[in-house]
């Protein structure tokens, strides 16, 4: 069988444009761009440069990898949901990277088992995070990382994506696997991309007919359409 990745780990290959990745994660493109490209911020001493929170596999390509996607997903909880100052996030991540001695710490299983507590503790040293705030962040990060599957090297292998309007406790209907369909979002257990399903629906096909074509339930088709719709609205 031909190795289409040339012996490289597909998780580390540039695969997603910033706009596409931002839609998958439901964050503004400008926000994600600042995480992967860095940006200036204003201090009393004037403008300062903040280096990227996420290291791209190839800065010239302008695309992010699957591992970067996982990192951005975790950062979304920390930065967007909990409004933690970007500089403080950078300081906390630098501490963890130095302590563990490995890149992409947010995409390692160790972050789920040990890193969440270490990150929150480190962050608390930089800013006064209330007990309630710590608990909320801890639960949100654990909930997110429970959707990630890890390989034998404890690196993120694939992630299940939730859909707006579907209970967080329900089985996630969408999966992103960098080794399947070039990492495009797919319907779990069906293998068809959410984009293909939505294109068929937008072309006038009924949900029941699409479900019959792919031997799945109408609810799965609706989840795919909802996933694509929430991207457009992001």
pLDDT at 231 over 60: no
**Cβ contacts of residue 96 below 8 Å, gap of 6+?**
105, 111, 115, 118, 119, 122
Report the Cα 133 to chain-centroid distance in Å.
22
pLDDT band at 121 (very low <50, low <70, confident <90, very high): confident
pLDDT band at 115 (very low <50, low <70, confident <90, very high): confident
Query: In order of start, what are the domains of the chain with their CATH numbers?
Result: 162-234 (1.10.10.10)
Distance between CA atoms of 90 and 166, rounded to whole angstroms? Answer: 33
Helical ranges in the chain per DSSP H? 18-25, 29-37, 66-75, 86-100, 109-110, 116-126, 131-145, 194-202, 207-213, 218-233
Mean pLDDT in residue range 57-72: 93
């Amino acid at each position: 069988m031909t190795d289409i990745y040339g012996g490289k780990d597909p998780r580390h290959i540039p695969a997603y444009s910033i706009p596409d990745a931002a839609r998958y994660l439901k964050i503004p493109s400008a926000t994600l761009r600042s995480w992967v490209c860095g940006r200036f911020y204003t201090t009393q001493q004037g403008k300062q440069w903040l280096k990227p929170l996420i290291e791209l596999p190839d800065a010239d390509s302008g695309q992010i990898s699957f591992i970067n996607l996982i990192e951005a997903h975790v950062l979304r909880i920390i930065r967007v949901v909990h409004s933690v100052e970007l500089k403080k996030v950078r300081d906390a991540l630098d501490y963890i990277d130095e302590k563990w001695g490995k890149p992409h710490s947010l995409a390692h299983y160790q972050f789920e088992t040990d890193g969440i507590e270490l990150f929150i503790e480190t962050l608390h040293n930089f800013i006064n995070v209330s007990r309630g705030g710590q608990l909320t962040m801890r639960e949100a990060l654990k909930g997110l990382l429970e959707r990630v599957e890890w390989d034998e090297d404890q690196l993120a292998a694939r992630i299940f994506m939730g859909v707006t309007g579907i209970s967080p406790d329900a089985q996630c209907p969408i999966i992103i696997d960098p080794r399947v369909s070039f990492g495009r979002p797919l319907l779990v257990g069906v293998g068809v991309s959410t984009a293909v399903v939505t294109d068929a629906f937008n072309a006038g096909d009924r949900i029941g007919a699409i479900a019959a074509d792919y031997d799945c339930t109408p609810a799965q088709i609706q989840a795919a359409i909802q996933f694509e719709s929430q991207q457009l609205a992001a």
